[in-house]
Amino acid sequence: MAYNHGREDRKWRIWKEAEEKVLRECGVDEETIEQIRTDDRADFNSNRRFYRWASDFGEYLEGMADRCTLQIVLLKMQGYSTKEIAASVKLSTKSAYSRMGGSQLYAASGNGAACGKSGGHSRYQL
């Protein structure tokens, strides 16, 4: 699910107002409360940037690569050679190279050859 800044900001404000009410009841001066608010807001903004980036990156991967390409990338990150990867996903070495190269990420709409068309299950299948 995409990050919803408005919803998260409302939740933060409600939490912050409740916290400040407790601090005032305990006799904390306004300058200290304002400093805490400033620090908490900086943390909130840092988290917001991360969650927005993570959400955007996930949507990018979903839109740009099919399951086979993601499987190839995962195996490459785990240290497998391109020859081993090609054999495990039942593609030619050249096809595996082209999918890893970034020049062509196959959309989930079915462009390009599908992985594992031979029907057997690879031990590397996700």
Which pLDDT tens digit goes with each residue over 6-36? 888 899 899 999 999 999 999 999 999 999 9
73 and 93 assigned to the same domain:
yes
71 and 124 assigned to the same domain:
yes
DSSP label of 28 = -
Number of folded domains that form the chain: 2
83 and 115 assigned to the same domain:
yes
- Overall pTM > 0.75: no
Q: Counting every residue, how long is the chain?
A: 126
117 and 72 assigned to the same domain:
yes
Q: Which domain holds residue 35?
A: 5-64
54 and 84 assigned to the same domain:
no
Nearest Cα residue to 88 out of 119, 66, 115: 115
Residues in the chain where the model's pLDDT stays below 50: 102-113, 118-126
